[in-house]
């Protein structure tokens, strides 16, 4: 029996509009990195597409984004899609999604270990380290913490303090700088794992949509099954690109409302 490694689930939140090979690479890179620390055993990955309430320009319907993510992840034996966030009528704060997912993971874990304990005739104690949940993100994500009004301070605190971050750096972005420049992030430095991606692989969903609108090939950037789905439903067009064009991003309005409320109190 080796030393107990902490079971770890990786959660990626985002638009997935559409999911690309790059999104799935992030999971592979993160898992390799966390295993190489010798402290974690990655037991699962969750893709959680944002709900339609997010109000981001060109966001196609969640049911399509979910369907594409499911198709893309058919070939993975450890990453799955979870629909909870996408089904919420309003946009959900990332930390709320994390609480929900973590609750679900803990419940599953307790059920499993509980059954195991009953079999041994033991009472309730959790033998091994209980699972952890960490947020998986690209380096650009760290930069969003700086955008005024986008994040609530207590939420940032909870995401990095209670859960933890795994951040994959792409190209020129310097995630260590973003950590250094933020007091909250610095304080939780040991809970932020920076993974360097040596292969530059900048397949952004924006580029994929642009190519699709222009009728250019996106083969080998996203899985064939996803390409088929996109063509079948004619998902990305000039028209779809204009969706939510003049809408303010929901996090900005939601946070603002809450700020006003707290001022009123």
Partner 1 sequence: MEGPKLTDVVLLACGSFNPITNMHLRMFELARDHLQDTGRYRVVKGIMSPVGDGYKKKGLIKGSHRLEMARLATETSDWITVDSWESLQPEWVETAKVVRHHYEELPAAEQNNDDVDTVKYAKKRRIKENYFKGSSHQKSKERPQVKLLCGADVLESFAVPNLWKQEDIIEILGHGLVCITRSGCDPHKFINQSDVLWKYRNNIHVVHEWVTNDISATHVRRALRRGQSVKYLLPDPVLRYIKEHDLYNAESEQKNADVVLAPLQRFTGASSS
The minimum distance between CB 198 and partner 1, in angstroms, equals: 7
CA distances from residue 131 to 45, 107, 108 in whole angstroms, order as listed: 13, 11, 10
**For partner 1, which residue of 66, 221, 226, 235 counts as binding (CB under 8 A)?**
221
| Binders of partner 1 in range 50-89 (CB under 8 A) | 75-76
The minimum distance between CB 51 and partner 1, in angstroms, equals: 26
**For partner 1, which residue of 7, 15, 21, 129 counts as binding (CB under 8 A)?**
21
Binding segment toward partner 1, per CB under 8 A, in 90-98, 106-114, 211-219, 257-265 = 211-219
Q: Does 219 bind partner 1 (CB under 8 A)?
A: yes
Q: In a 3-state reduction of DSSP, which class is residue 2?
A: coil
Q: Does 203 bind partner 1 (CB under 8 A)?
A: yes
Q: Does 217 bind partner 1 (CB under 8 A)?
A: yes
Q: How many CB atoms are closer than 10 A to CB 183?
A: 7
Distance CA 125, CA 164 (A): 25
Distance CA 159, CA 101 (A): 13
Give whichever of 78 and 109 is closer to partner 1, judged by the CB atom.
78
| Burial per residue of 194-223, b for 16 or more beta-carbon CB atoms within 10 angstroms, e otherwise | bbebeeebebebeebbeebeeeeebeebbb
Give whichever of 94 and 169 is closer to partner 1, judged by the CB atom.
169
Which two structure tokens, joined as six digits, stand for 37?
A: 């620390």
Q: Does 232 bind partner 1 (CB under 8 A)?
A: no
Q: Does 198 bind partner 1 (CB under 8 A)?
A: yes
Distance CA 200, CA 181 (A): 25
Q: Does 224 bind partner 1 (CB under 8 A)?
A: yes
Give whichever of 2 and 263 is closer to partner 1, judged by the CB atom.
2
DSSP structural state of residue 222 = B
Q: Does 241 bind partner 1 (CB under 8 A)?
A: no
| Binders of partner 1 in range 129-188 (CB under 8 A) | 171
Q: Does 125 bind partner 1 (CB under 8 A)?
A: no
Binding segment toward partner 1, per CB under 8 A, in 25-33, 53-61, 113-121, 188-196 = 25-33
Tell me if 137 sits within 8 A of 165, measured CB to CB: yes
Q: Omega of the bond prior to 18 within 30 degrees of 0, cis?
A: yes
CA distances from residue 15 to 23, 121, 199, 214, 262 in whole angstroms, order as listed: 11, 46, 23, 21, 29
**For partner 1, which residue of 120, 124, 190, 200 counts as binding (CB under 8 A)?**
200
List contacts with partner 1 (CB under 8 A): 21-22, 24-25, 28-29, 31-32, 75-76, 171, 198-204, 207, 216-217, 219-221, 224
């Amino acid at each position: 029996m080796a030393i107990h490694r902490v079971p770890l689930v990786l959660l990626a939140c985002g638009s997935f509009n559409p999911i690309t090979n790059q999104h799935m690479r992030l999971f592979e890179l993160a898992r390799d990195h966390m295993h190489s620390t010798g402290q974690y055993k990655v037991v699962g990955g969750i893709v959680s597409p944002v709900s339609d309430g997010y109000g981001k320009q060109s966001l196609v319907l969640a049911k399509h984004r979910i369907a594409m993510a499911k198709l893309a992840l058919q070939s993975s034996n450890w990453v799955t899609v979870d629909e909870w966030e996408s089904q919420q009528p309003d946009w959900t704060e990332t930390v709320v999604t994390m609480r929900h997912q973590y609750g679900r993971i803990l419940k599953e874990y307790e059920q499993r270990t509980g059954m195991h304990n009953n079999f041994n005739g033991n009472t309730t104690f959790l033998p091994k380290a209980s699972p952890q949940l960490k947020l998986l993100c690209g380096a650009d994500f760290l930069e969003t913490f700086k955008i005024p009004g986008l994040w609530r301070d207590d939420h940032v605190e909870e995401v990095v303090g209670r859960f933890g971050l795994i951040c994959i750096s792409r190209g020129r972005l310097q995630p260590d700088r973003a950590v250094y420049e933020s007091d909250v992030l610095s304080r939780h430095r040991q809970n932020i794992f920076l993974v360097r991606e040596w292969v530059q692989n900048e397949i952004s969903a924006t580029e994929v949509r642009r190519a699709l609108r222009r009728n250019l090939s996106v083969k080998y950037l996203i899985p064939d099954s996803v390409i088929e789905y996109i063509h079948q439903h004619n998902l990305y067009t000039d028209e779809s690109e204009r969706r939510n064009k003049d809408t303010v991003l929901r996090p900005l309005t939601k946070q603002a409302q809450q700020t006003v409320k707290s001022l009123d109190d």
